[in-house]
Amino acid sequence: MSRLGELFGLNGQVAVVTGGSGVLGRGLCLGLADAGASVAILGRRQAACDDVAREIRERGGQAVGVACDVLNLDELAQAVTTVEAVLGPVDILVNGAGGNQPPATTAADRRFFDLAPDALTAVVDLNLHGTLRPSQAFGRGMAERGAGCIINISSMAAMRPLTRTVGYNAAKAAVNSFTYWLAVHLAQEYSPNIRVNAIAPGFFLAEQNRALLIDAATGDWTPRGKQILAHTPMNRLGSPDDLVGTLVWLASPAAAFVTGIVVPVDGGFSAFGGV
């Protein structure tokens, strides 16, 4: 194997991806498997997780689908047991579970002052606690072994708060803060060989935002979709493959001295001032 292959390869590594059965999660799982990792796909629906695992095996990789609610501690504990029994100890955790909900989003008929507390709490729970709890469950083994890698999926909404998505913005900002804190904590208290970083995607088309970006009747961009493109210098939305290079780099030995950072993958959105 070449020096670059050793630096960026994940052969012999076991990776877990929460939210791995979604549009972006599937791309992350395939990217890790293509780099040589064995992959456990975690999601709420067993059938969807199994579909991604089957696709990886058909490409020559090793994978298992595990149904798990990332907010359920008992299910997380069982997921740890299952993954370790089938694939071995976990080296890489990708916290990809997250998302937004319309009731936690302002709209013409939904004022900020009327947003339901339960809806806001649900979005914060899914994005923040849905990142924190798997980090506890799978990070424990990393702490015991003194090695591992955790990669959180944040959002550019954490750094450049978007209109309307008040709960999601705040939750992803908390994910960034948690990433910084956990990187320092694990390195100082357990091992400098445990790294924690995050990726902040810009605008990617997924089921949760499709209706906001594309008019279902015409297939054209909505006014919000056009506004997003106008503020993205590369003039397109991201695709799952656009995240794979950053993910594999952060998970690989090539990033051995990288911890406590959030990497934007946003087509220039964060750099553009609007004029």
Give the 3-state secondary structure of residue 150.
strand
Beta carbons within 10 angstroms of residue 186's beta carbon: 24
Within 13 Å and on the Cβ side, how many CA atoms surround 108? 0
**CA distances (Å), 200 to each of 173, 180, 203, in order?**
10, 13, 10
Distance from C-alpha of 13 to C-alpha of 99, rounded to nearest angstrom: 28
Task: Give 27's contacts (C-beta < 8 A, 6+ positions apart).
Answer: 239, 240, 241, 243, 244
Distance from C-alpha of 261 to C-alpha of 273, rounded to nearest angstrom: 23
Helices (H), 146-205: 166-189
Q: Which of 8, 138, 168, 190 is catalytic?
A: 168
| Residue 180 annotated as catalytic | no
Catalytic residue list:
168
